[in-house]
Amino acid sequence: MLTKLKNKVQKWVFIEAKLMHKAGFKPNTMSALGAILGVLSGILYWAVGVSPAQMHKILLLLALITLLSSGLCDALDGALARLYGQTAVLGGFLDSMLDRYVDAAVICGLILGGLCDQSWGLLALVGSLLTSYARARSEAADIPMETVGIIERVERILIMAIASIINIIRGDLPALRISVIILAIASNFTVAQRVLYFYRRVSKKT
């Protein structure tokens, strides 16, 4: 079921990527646009926490839209690069760096806006960054690590999106707080999984 869903999403992304290519968009352009939208999402989450109550739903909806749009741009830049042979070491490096800024901006927005507990927010931030760092270091050592671990960037975005939708519908529920706790636990557990996986692979080589 999940495999079929993933294949359908990938087909849709490739269709969208072809439309973006016809419109003149390049992978680096999509990466930059995704980063801008992601940082804007973080600012909007912060604004939710410091604005009057009557503005919360509107700002939260805008934060959700920009977060999902950022994630879509991140998917499209990779699809564009693969479809039209525009993959480059520099482009991949910049895309990875910009993704980390977006991850940090969103979680920092939640922390600064008081939408989650600071301690859990910091743990989620550390786990999010180390999840990506562990993969980068592993693949630099020629040990692929894609799909290793219970949560990756797509899952993190989906968890935040679902929590945001719940809070738009029911502002009295602590959905965002709970989602950050889930992210903190799951992302750090993923880091542990990747460390163990790397250790086992290296041990087999020696």
pTM of the model: 0.89
Classify residue 126 as exposed, middle or buried by CB count within 10 Å of its CB (0-12, 13-18, 19+). middle
- 8 or 41, which is more confident: 41
Q: Is 99 annotated in the active site?
A: yes
Token pair in block for residue 98? 């910009």
Give the tens place of pLDDT for each residue, 171-183.
889 999 999 999 9
> In terms of domains, do 21 and 64 share one?
yes
Domain total for the chain?
2
Instruction: Give the closest residue to 70 by CA, choosing from 106, 22, 107, 16.
Output: 106
| Angle 151-85-11 from CA coordinates, rounded to 5° | 50
CA distance 163 to 157: 10
CB of 167 closer than 8 Å to CB of 176: yes
Among residues 94, 113, 132, the one where a domain terminates is 113
> In terms of domains, do 34 and 128 share one?
no
Among residues 55, 83, 113, the one where a domain terminates is 113
**CATH number for 166:** 1.20.120.1760
Confidence class of residue 2 from pLDDT cuts 50, 70 and 90?
very low
CA distance 55 to 175: 18
What residue numbers bound the domain in which 150 lies?
A: 116-206
> In terms of domains, do 106 and 95 share one?
yes
Confidence class of residue 1 from pLDDT cuts 50, 70 and 90?
very low
User: Residue 148: what residue type?
Assistant: V
> In terms of domains, do 15 and 57 share one?
yes
Of 77, 99, 117, 172, which residue is the catalytic one?
99
Per the prediction, the chain carries an average pLDDT of 88
Q: Which pLDDT value is given to residue 74?
A: 85
For residue 51, pLDDT over 90 is answered with yes
CB of 105 closer than 8 Å to CB of 39: yes
